[in-house]
Amino acid sequence: MNLITMRTYKRKTDKGKIPPDVMLRAVQMVINEGRSVNSAAKDFTIPQKTLDRYVKKARTQNENRTEIKLERVGYFNRRQIFSHEHETLLADYLKRASDIYYGLTPKELRKFAFQYASSNKFEVPANWTKNKMAGEDWAAAFIKRNNSLSLRCPQATSLSRTTSFNKTNVNMFFSNLKTVYNRLHLEPSDIWNVDETGITTVQKPDRIIARRGFKQIGKLTSAERGTLVTLTVAVSASGNSIPPFFIFPRVNFRDHFIRDGPVGSLGDANPSGWTKEEHFIKFIKHFIHHARCSKERPVLLLLDNHESHLSVPALDICKENGVTVLSFPQHCSHKLQPLDRSVYGPLKKYCNSAIDNWMVNNAGKTFSIYDIPGIVKMTLPLAATPTNIMAGFKKT
């Protein structure tokens, strides 16, 4: 009940709410023009004692300055984490993120705020550090302070409008793409697409010739249930690609995991085998190294709407190295993502055939996750050809 009361509390007086520019003009009138404090206070409707206090403070703070300035006017919340300027930047980011389909939920906002505070070395409450996110009260107050923001539920208006492949979403995406394209003056070699796919240890066997009349036939596979390794690939509209990035379903990564993989490839590990924030940061550094981008040579990176791409450190690295990020609308990557349209389909077929051959040539052995990089080394060049890559960009 107390929390609700505090969130909806309304001030009962106007104390401490004198506009900074009004207070500054009154102080300048006293110091520069020689007016009395009492006279200036009456002209600007400011309490005499209040103006007298700010005049004394201004004289102390501006002893060696030709121009009178006030450091702060009004009551100051000593527990406030972000300054007005930082909150404005944060609010602007949230609005831009919403415009390009990266709208944050309240929980994601709280995580983002903690990361933002940590990256700027701001002092935060103990519960922020403990929970790795800002508190609910802070989030509610932040939205209230920034009245250009509101908590919206897009599903309540039209689920298909916000989460499907339709004209509205596609037009908005291409409008954002055109804006970035014209602003950065991009060439095809500067437009990149990155996407993840899973390579499993259990292949889908190729069709075989068998005896007619049998309803079911069998063929040897490495196991009945496979283990997934995440493969991340980046390709450009000019047909180029960078060495892939592997994520293994293990607690710790070892260099020998990718010993047989493509030259220049990198890897990481986590128990689930899926991409998380820390892995995307490592991949972004890998991408920047091979794409050779910078603020003087900016690039556009197109990717899907996944929370692992949202971390503050990753976005900071992108900004510092001239990488502009634009996401596809939700549930539209199967139509708009070049890698999905023309590279990953052939790659899966080539991988199935290659694992099939591996099973034949290594009778009695089990195909494991450590054999996947070698398979990718053989098959990725066949799937990620310049012709296939450029065809994917043309289709989308």
Burial of 194 (0-12, 13-18, 19+ CB in 10 A): buried
Question: What DSSP character marks residue 73?
Answer: -
Total-model pTM = 0.64
**Is 280 within 8 Å of 317 (Cβ atoms)?**
no
Domain ranges across the chain: 2-61, 84-152, 188-207+220-395
Q: What is the pLDDT of residues 186-245, one digit of tens each?
A: 999 999 999 999 998 876 654 434 344 444 434 444 444 568 899 999 999 999 999 999
Phi, psi for 4 (deg, rounded to 5) = -65, -40
Structure tokens at 49: 């004692």
Check residue 190 and give its pLDDT. Answer: 95
Phi, psi for 343 (deg, rounded to 5) = -115, -50
**Is 264 within 8 Å of 282 (Cβ atoms)?**
no
Question: Which is nearest to 6 in space by CA: 106, 105, 79?
Answer: 79
Structure tokens at 396: 């989308």
Q: Is 3.40.50.12500 the CATH classification of the domain at 188-207+220-395?
A: no
Give the chain's length. Answer: 396
Structure tokens at 364: 């009695």
Check residue 203 and give its pLDDT. Answer: 63
CB-CB neighbours of 19 under 10 Å: 11
* Torsional sign, CA 105, 111, 115, 117: positive
CA angle 299–297–101, rounded 5-degree value: 25
Side-chain-facing half-sphere of 92: CA atoms under 13 Å: 6
Structure tokens at 111: 């995580």
Check residue 77 and give its pLDDT. Answer: 59
Instruction: Report the 3 state secondary structure along 324-388.
Output: EEEECCCCCHHHHCHHHHHCHHHHHHHHHHHHHHHHHHCCCCCCCHHHHHHHHHHHHHHHCCHHH
Low-confidence ranges of the chain (pLDDT < 70): 1-16, 62-66, 71-72, 74-79, 99-103, 151-165, 203-226
